[in-house]
Structure formats: structure tokens, C-alpha cells
Amino acid sequence: MSVFRIEHLSKSFGELTVLKDITTTIEKGEIISIIGPSGTGKSTLLRCLNLLEMPSGGRIFFNDLDLLARTTNITKIRQRIGMVFQSFNLYNHLSVLDNLTLGPVKLLRKSKAEAELKAMELLKLVGLAEKAASFPDELSGGQKQRVAIARCLAMEPEVILFDEPTSALDPTMTSEVLAVIRRLAKEGMTMVIVTHEMEIARNISTRVFYMDEGFIYEEGTPQQIFENPQREKTREFINRVRRYTYRITSKDYDLYAMNAEIEAFCEKHLLSRRICHNVLLLAEEVLGLQRDFSDITLSLAYSEKDDRLEFIFESAGEPANPLEEGEREDDLGIILIKSRCDSIQYKYENGKNILLCGVKG
Amino acid sequence: MNSKAYILVLISLVLILGAGFAVGDKNVPEATMLWGGKAFAAPAPGNDGTKLRTLDDIADKRVGVYSGTVHDAFVAENYPQAKIFRYDSTADMILALKSNKIDVAMLDYTSAKVILKNPSNNDIGILTDDALTLPLGIGFNKNNPALREKFNNFLREIKSDGTYEEMYNRWFENDPEKAVMPEIVNKGTGQKIILGVAVADLPYVAYVNGEYVGFDIEMVKRFAAHEELPLEIITMEFSSLVAALSSGKVDMIADGIAITEERSKQIDFSDSYVDFKTAVLALKKNIASYEDEQAGAAVTIPFLQNIADRFHNNLIHEKRYLLIVDGLKVTAIISLVSVVFGTLLGALICFMRMSKNKILVNISRFYISIMRGTPVLVLLMIIFYVVFASVNVNPVIAAIIAFGANFAAYVSEMFRTSIESVDKGQKEAGIAAGFTRVQTFIYIIMPQALRHVLPVYKGEFISLVKMTSVVGYIAVQDLTKASDIIRSRTYDAFFPLIMVAVLYFLLSWSLALVLDYIGFRTDPKRKRRTRLQQV
């Protein structure tokens, strides 16, 4: 019996569709990492699992119980699904200890003494027993998040949902929280973690969902996803590729605006002056060889992981490699282009000439 | 705590010093009695060498009248150049005269005689005593001619059997200050009648030893006893008497009310029971005929003796402290019940304002803007004279509704902003943990919102306590009205006003302390130490 079974789940906010047709299952004991670029619905998917967001379509089963059925008492079920937030959301008016006991006492009808005993145990587990009497505003971010995790555990949940648990933390605090999550993993807790922290996805989780464009674009074990991603966008994401695109539709394009944007892109990603200079030159020379300006797309793709910049030039029209020698009297442009690249590929696809150049550093 | 005690001591010091000044001033013959002080006084008529000789000399002067009386209209019609100052109590008018805020005061002759007898008023003289003569009558609702008919029969009866003459001698011929109300036994089996009065002063209506006395009171009491109808007397502003009668709040009104054409349009009058003469009063030094009397009028009274006398006069004499105690009770009851009612209503309005239902939101927004855009005094009178026009409702309840409704509008917005100021994540955390929406609100949102709202709530609470001082307008005898009544008897502004100010201060201060204590109790960090020991 799977903990979550999701069938054709979709969610839209007004006109904006965030999730489209997601179908998957999450088994007991699994640790799922959901990764992907911002704004692709990772958090929305997570928040649909305990109905903090109402799905627009599809079905979600928790232990084979249809969450969206009228007869389902969702508040009762939420007591069995813990949730940890990016912004901690500790109850500000209660001490750390009371944060842990409020739920068990009011919802699980435990006695105050029993709840406190359990709470102290959990605080020891996350290393914060001495902060029991402190208030949330007296804790550091990492401490707050550990208390939040302990607060979840106090309800003895079957699964914990983590919504970017370390995004608001600096590296030291992040490792405090990661250590706690790792410990839970060892104890076999079922967890679903939305994260930007590749370290969690790679080393803690049993399965990784790569989300893009509102659905699970690729999923697999951490090895598959991180070492041998099958699909283009996954690859780009794993290699931390940053993109810049400029479109030209007429001969009278604004060269200076384009150059300024390319420079800004280089500056943003801390590329060297040399690379920047090479890219500008490449762009100018390739455009200089071009005759048809009706539909040109010029892109830069920078992989942070490999520290490599690719220059991609696409133009519509008849198949024609602009770099083919002998067609023109003056091949100086071609020589210049070649001198700035350490690899050049040409292909013709879908009625487009595509030129792929690795820019020299 | 300590700093507050210091402030109290400081205030007491200021008060004592103030009393000293007031007394000091009084010993100088031509000085005004109170704050008025010579430095602030406008040029008196005497200063330009022309003293008042006849009534026509008031033509360009500042004239004080009782608001809503025939004098008001009389001066406006006959002396359009005169500046009219309207007062709601004789005491205020006399104090204004003494402090040179007005040059002459116009009032009924018998009342004037009483005022002149008071030793503290020996700097005042009569310019004329026959400025205007009018018949006085008891007012009745136009819809109740039967009661008026009964009264007229009764009036004829007492005029013929000598009772009237006995009463006339008691209140008009002899010294009304010394008059003793005869015991009037009322079997009171029939339907209750309510008499509205303004407690203008003797000889008509006054409040002495915790009881209403005066010619009008005796006459109406005798009438009620004669008809065997239980009688209730309520106090209101003179200017509201006619409105109260025509809206059915009271069955009869009496307080030296002159029968005029204008009033007769609104209400019915009984036959005239006495003629009313108008006296014009001014400071003796401004009246030509008093020139000889000027010198040596003042007698020096020792400072402490004077304070003691005035304390006795304002509080002990005629059991006047009872008025203050009762007034304080009424003020405290109105304040506290309005706050409770207003807070509950405010919570409801806040709930409506924050609901997703458009209709509820609009109703609450409309309510809030109406309440915040209307003066509470106007609201109070609308509730009493318009909303409850045909229902016999205790004015204290009307006051509680008015102040509560007003308070609700303000606190509902306070509640809303404080709830909205609680971080959204708190609600999400509660819902995600499996609390229902209501539980989330009670256990998580409300405790945090309360901490935000308490300081502003305290301010609004205190301002409500002070705001209740206007309830005198709908015939409620609160603390302020009690001081008005005392002033109308003693012509001393200092003691009653300062005392009432101090009482209001103490009342608000102690209520603020209670709220401070609640704030202290709800501070979560307070519990830390005790909790630590247990775990």
C-alpha cells in the first residue's frame, strides 16, 4: 500500500496552470526529493499533498483514502502528515516546549505531562533540549527549523513534507538541519522534500523527481538523475546551465542593445573579460556572414558545473553552413570565428541551420 | 507603579495650589471668582465710564441666557446688537457673569432672588426685575389631552381649597432655600407617569438632600398623589425637555417653563400656574444704582476655613456626596457594560468584515464608516429620541447601546488589523498540523493578535470612559451631570469640576491598570521561569 498515490493531478491559479497531469506513487519508507527550476510547481505539488492547496483536477490517495472525497475528514488526516516550512512558522507566542506539546495535547488528547516528556525526548533528538524554555524569536534559523521538525515528530506522523527546509538558512545552519533530516532518513521516516540543496537530493533521497513545465519531467534514483540524466532539461539543470536568448527578426536589429545584454549576462555569471570579448566578437562575425535575417535566435548557455560557455546560433532558411569555406572571397570572418572557439558543430534540424560553438576561455 | 504614584502626588499639589489661587482671588473685592482672572477679562461696561442704568443699556452688551428659554428669543428680537451666550445651567451663567465672560445675565426673577441670597454672590446685583413677564405652564404631550385635562381640574381644585396659596408662600414669598417639602403620600396604583425636569434651580426644581424639591415638584407630586399615579422624575437638559415630551420619553415636563406660541406648536400646556418675571443681573460695580455700596463689601475669610467651607458646601451639605457617588456608579456601569457589549459586537463586525461573503463585508464596512463618521453624542440622541421614540427604554440602556455601537466600530478595525498583522505562516502551520480553522484561530492566531491589540484597545477604552460624560443629554445622571447639579446649587465651579476631573482620571487609570495586568498576564515570556522548574 503506497503512502501517496497521485492520479492526473492538476492545479491552476486562475489562468495560470502550475501543475499538469501528474501521476505517481510514493511508497512507505521512500525519501523523495523534488528538484527543478523555480516556478515549476514543486511547492504547489507538495502543498497539494495535504490539501493546503486545493487541486483543480485529478485525485490524491493517502493510504488508499481519497483525500478529495466528500466523506474524508482532511483535518484528521493532516494530523498524520507532518509539514516543515521554508519560513519555519513556529508558533511565536509559545515557548519551544509548548510549540511541541500544543498539537499532541489539543489534537491527540495526550496529557500535558506525557506530551512534555515526549517533547523533551524529541528536543534531545534534534539537539535543542536546553532551549525548551526559549521562545522562537530567541533562536537562530537553524535552531528554529530543527524545532519545527521536532514539532512535526511530536504528532507522530506517517510522512513528513519538507517545503524547501534550508532555503532560508546560511550554510552552517543548513548542515545542522541536514544532519537531522539524515537521521530521520536512517530511522526509515517517509519524507517528501522540495529542495534546492543538491546534497539532499543526491545523498539522502531514494528517488528524485525532476520537475519542469508543471509536471514530473524525469524521475529516477539519484544515480540516474545526477550521473546519467536522460533528457535535455534535466541535464541542463543538473549541470546548472544558465541561458540567455536574443531574437532577431529583421536586418535592422539593435546591435548595441544585444551587445549590452550579452555583457550583462557575462557579468552576472562572473565570466572572464576574455570570454565576454570572444562572445561579442563571435556574435558580430556570425551575424556578418548571415544574409537572411527573418528569424534568427542567438543563445548563450553557461554551465556552472563545467564552467563552459556555449554559443548557439539558429537561423531559418535553406540548409547552408555559414562557415563552409570557399563560398566567399574573403574568409577572414570565418578564420576569426574559428579562432575564438574550441569546438564547432553544424546541423540542420526542423528547417533551421544550427551552429553550436564552444567559446574559448 | 512608582512613577504613577508620583504623578498622582503632583496632580494633587497642582490642585491644592489651584484652590489657593481661586481663594486668593476671591478676597480681592473686584476680582472675578475663578480662572477668569482680571488679566483675561474683556472690557466690562464700567470701564468706558457708562454704567448700566436701564434695560435698554444691554442693547450692545454680552447677554447670558438659559438656552431654549423665551429670553433667548426676546433678546434676539429686541436687541439684535447684543451678543447672546447660551447656557445650560444657571450656575454656568452666573459663573460666566462673575468671570466677566458676559455683561448681564437674564433669568427668571424668583431664581435670581435665590442666587442673590447666596453670600458668595454678593458682588451681583439686579439691573431690573420686570424685563419680560410670561405665564408658566406644565407641558403635556399633544396625544395625551386627558392627562392635561385632569391636571387643569386639579389646578383649579388646589387654587380654590387654599393649597395653592400655601405652596406659593412656601416657594415664592418666603425663602425657598429654607422651604421644606411636605410629605406627600402617593398610593400609586395606576399607570406610571414620568416627569421630565432640568433641575434649573429653586424655586421651581432643585435637587436637595438626594431629593427633588421645588414648587413644580410639589405641585406635580400632589397631582400624582391626587390621581394615585406612581411618579418617576428624570433629569435632562432644559433644551431637550420639549423634544423628550413630544417624542413620548416623558409624560409631562415642568421646570418654570414659559408658555410660548412656538412651544405650543410642539406640545400642549396646562393652564398657567404662576407668572414668571424676568430679572437682569449684572455685577454690582457695573450697575449705576449700586455705586454707593462698592467699598468694603469683601470680608476676608482665613484660607483653610474657606477651603473647609467650600468642601463642606460642595460635598457634605444637603448630602451632595450622594450625587457624586451615584454619578460615579452610573458612569462606571455605562463604561463597563458598553465596553463588554462593544467588544462582543466589535468581534462580530470584525468577523463579518473578514469573511469571504461580499454581503457581510459590505454590511460591516457600511456600519464602520457610519459609526466612525457620526459624533457619538448625535448617535446617542438619535438612539434615545428617534430609534426608541415610542418604546419606554431606560436611558442608561440607550447610552450603553450608543457607546457600545460606537466602540464596536473602532475595535472591530483594531481586531482586524491585529489579526492581519499575524504572519500568514502561523495559520498555515496550524492548518497543516491538523487544527481546524476555528482551533487555529483560538490557539494560534488570537493569542498573538491579542498582544498586538491590547495597547490600542486600552486607549480606546479610556476614551470611551471619558466620552460617557455626554449622557446628561439623554437624562442620565452620571458623574458630569452630578457636578452640574452641585454647581447649580453652590455656584462654585472649582470643587465640583476638579473633583469630577479627578474621579474620571482615577476611574480611567484603574481600568487602564486592569488592562495592563491582563497584558502582563498574557505575556508568554512571563511564564518561562515557572515552566522551567517543572520540566
Contacts of residue B438, defined as CB under 8 A and 6 or more positions apart, other chains included, come to: none
* For A78, nearest residue in chain B (alpha carbons): B434
Task: Verify whether the Cβ–Cβ distance B524 to A90 is below 8 Å.
Answer: no
Helix (H, G, I), strand (E, B) or coil at A22: strand
Q: What are phi and psi of B26, to 5 degrees?
A: -65, -25
Look-up of cell digits 437638559: B237
User: Average of pLDDT values for A329-354?
Assistant: 83
Residue type, A285: E
Q: What are phi and psi of A14, to 5 degrees?
A: 60, -120
Query: Chain B partners of A77 at a C-beta cutoff of 8 Å?
Result: 434
Q: Write down the H helix ranges in B35-132.
A: 37-40, 70-78, 90-98, 109-117
Task: Verify whether the Cβ–Cβ distance A106 to B443 is below 8 Å.
Answer: yes
Report yes or no: B472 and B484 within 8 Å, Cβ to Cβ: yes
How does pLDDT run across A9-65, given as a tens digit for each residue? 999 998 899 999 999 999 999 999 999 888 888 999 999 999 999 999 999 999 999
Report yes or no: A353 and A319 within 8 Å, Cβ to Cβ: yes
More confident residue, A220 or B74: A220
Q: CA of A102, closest CA in chain B: separation in Å? A: 8
pLDDT in tens, chain B (535 residues): 455 556 656 666 555 555 544 444 443 333 333 333 333 334 444 445 567 878 888 888 888 888 777 788 888 888 888 888 888 778 788 888 888 888 889 888 877 888 888 777 878 888 887 778 888 889 998 888 888 999 999 988 888 888 888 888 888 878 777 788 888 888 878 788 899 998 877 788 888 877 888 888 999 999 988 888 898 888 888 878 888 888 888 899 998 888 888 788 888 898 888 887 888 888 888 887 776 555 444 556 677 777 777 777 777 777 788 888 989 999 999 999 999 999 999 999 999 999 999 999 999 999 999 999 999 999 998 988 888 877 778 889 999 999 999 999 999 999 999 999 999 999 999 999 999 999 999 999 999 998 889 889 999 999 999 999 998 888 788 888 888 888 777 777 788 888 899 999 999 999 889 888 888 877 777 665 555 555 4
Cell (9 digits) for A313: 546560433
Q: How far is CA B254 from the centre of its chain?
A: 18
Report yes or no: B61 and B83 within 8 Å, Cβ to Cβ: yes
The answer, for A198 touching chain B at a CB cutoff of 8 Å, is no
Query: Chain B partners of A155 at a C-beta cutoff of 8 Å?
Result: 433-434
Annotate B449-486 with three-state secondary structure.
Answer: HHHHHHHHHHHHHHHHHHHHHHHHHHCCCCHHHHHHHH
Helix (H, G, I), strand (E, B) or coil at B243: helix
Kind plus residue range of the DSSP H or E element containing B436? none
Look-up of cell digits 562575425: A285
In the CATH scheme, what is the code of domain B138-271?
3.40.190.10
Cell (9 digits) for B323: 450625587
Q: Write down the H helix ranges in B374-445.
A: 376-381, 395-420, 424-432, 437-440
Report yes or no: B89 and B486 within 8 Å, Cβ to Cβ: no
What ipTM describes this predicted complex?
Answer: 0.78
Taking CB atoms within 8 Å and a gap of at least 24, the contacts of A164-168 are A164/A43, A164/A86, A164/A194, A164/A195, A164/A196, A165/A84, A165/A85, A165/A86, A165/A193, A165/A195, A166/A195, A166/A196, A166/A197, A166/A200, A167/A86, A167/A195, A167/A196, A168/A86, A168/A87, A168/A88, A168/A141
Look-up of cell digits 452640574: B484
The answer, for B447 touching chain A at a CB cutoff of 8 Å, is yes
Look-up of cell digits 473602532: B410
CB-nearest partner of B535 from A50, A85, A97: A97
Q: Is the pTM of this model over 0.90?
A: no
Strands A57-62 and A4-13 come out as antiparallel
Q: What are phi and psi of A19, to 5 degrees?
A: -120, 135
Regarding the domain with residue range B42-134+275-300, which homologous superfamily does it belong to in the CATH classification?
Answer: Periplasmic binding protein-like II (3.40.190.10)
How far apart, in whole angstroms, are the C-alpha atoms of residue B328 and residue B507?
A: 9
Query: Chain A partners of B531 at a C-beta cutoff of 8 Å?
Result: 95, 97, 133
Regarding the domain with residue range B321-526, which homologous superfamily does it belong to in the CATH classification?
Answer: MetI-like (1.10.3720.10)
- Residue A9 has a CB neighbour count (10 Å cut-off) of 23
Strands B231-235 and A31-35 come out as unpaired
Boundaries of every domain in chain B: 42-134+275-300, 138-271, 321-526
CB-nearest partner of B525 from A77, A135, A151: A135
- Is it true that B42-134+275-300 and B321-526 share their CATH fold? no
